Copies of this chain bind each other. A is one copy, B any other.
Amino acid sequence: MNKFNGVLAPVITPFTEDLLPDEGRLIAHCQWLISQGVSLAVFGTNSEANSLSTEEKLVLLDGLVNHGIDPALMMPGTGGCALSDTVRLTAHAVALGCGGTLMLPPFYYKDVPDDGLFAFYSEVIQRVAEESLRIYLYNIPPVSQIPISLGLIERLVTAYPDTIVGIKDSSGEWSNTAALNELAIDDFRVFCGSESFLLQNMQFGGAGCISATANVNPSPIKDLYDNWQSEDAGQRQARLNEIRQIFQSLPMIPALKTATSIYSGDSKWLRVRPPLLPLTTDQQASLQDQLESVGFKMPGL
């Protein structure tokens, strides 16, 4: 199994009127993302994955593969609070041939010791028991409230060098992403959780980014990844930041869905599952105004 690099989108999840996952729209969005050069971190934070049941994720994953989405391009989020759920979903992703899985730590119980997190990942790996399993750890303490420490990563890599192959760092702190790149681990793939850090991450030896806004601005982010050593890389980064900041000024997930709705002309993309809320009509208009004012488009949609 090749390791991932480049740009991945934590794919937003469309819902039907009844708030059920909308498989058809999800497949179409995945196809569009692939056409734009990015891979698919389905079931990430921005996918509202933690508002979906394990059963719903299993069905969606089957649907994507059955409809021709290449599983090697998929890094589904499979980490949940329950060991049993995490094992079941991870084993299914491996059986389908997914290129890797992005794995949150269990996030309900707080202040758990690293020994407990090590035991959790260790049990998952041993229960899935597949040589082709590739885990990318998912560090997002602002949301999960469970940081994945450098020491824990080193212990996991030492115990499972062929399985623990990388990390997505959504700590929001560049110093942490830099420290991850400086770990003495051969070919450890460090993805930053926002394209704001993409150029810096590449300069430090990183593998790319897994970023919310890759749902709406995929090819320009991929272009910076492909051309990070070019002379105009700084300008490309500045342009990405300009667009990112517009999305960050609003609740991110409904903002991504609103942009997708606007540029695809499909208002069904506006739906979110509670506890999230759609943007208000004022917020929708503001997003559109801001995006138009900087000449933003979703290409080829």
Mark interface residues in A268-281 (1 if CB within 8 Å of B CB, else 0): 00000111110000
A19 near B: Cβ within 8 Å? yes
Pick from B108, B113, B119, B143: contact of A109, CB under 8 Å: B143
Of the listed stretches A76-84, A171-179, A220-228, A288-296, chain B binds A76-84
Distance between Cα atoms of A56 and B115 in the complex (Å): 25
Once the chains bind, are B116 and A274 in contact (CB under 8 Å)? yes
Q: Which residues of B contact A283 (CB under 8 A)?
A: none
* Minimum Cβ distance to chain B for residue A153 (Å): 16
A144–B123 CA distance with the chains assembled, in angstroms: 24
- Give the B-binding residues of A (Cβ under 8 A): 19, 45, 50-56, 81-85, 88, 105-110, 112-113, 115-117, 119-120, 122-123, 142-145, 273-277
In contact, B145 and A115 (Cβ under 8 angstroms):
no
Q: Which B residue's beta carbon lies closest to that of A107?
A: B108
Given A50-B82, A81-B81, A117-B274, 7 further pairs, Cβ under 8 A: A50-B108, A53-B84, A53-B88, A106-B274, A110-B142, A115-B277, A123-B274
The CA of A116 and the CA of B251, in the complex, are separated in Å by: 12
* Distance A45 CA – B273 CA, assembled complex (angstroms): 24
Please report the C-alpha to C-alpha distance between residue A4 and residue B189 in the assembled complex, in whole angstroms.
53
Contacts of A145 in B (CB 8 A): 110, 145
In the complex the two chains form, is A116's CB within 8 Å of B276's CB?
A: yes
Give, as a whole number of angstroms, the nearest-CB distance from A254 to chain B. Answer: 10
A sample of 11 cross-chain residue pairs with beta-carbon separation below 8 angstroms, ordered by A number, consists of A19-B123, A51-B83, A82-B273, A109-B143, A110-B143, A112-B275, A115-B277, A116-B275, A117-B274, A117-B275, A119-B275
In the complex, what residues of B have CB within 8 A of residue A144's CB? 108
Partner of A82, one of B51, B123, B277: B51
Give the complex CA separation of A116 and B55 in angstroms: 23
By beta carbon, the residue of chain B nearest A56 is: B84
User: When the two chains form their complex, are residues B273 and A83 in contact, meaning their CB atoms are under 8 A apart?
Assistant: yes
Closest to A57 in B: B82
A119 and B82 form a contact (CB under 8 A): no
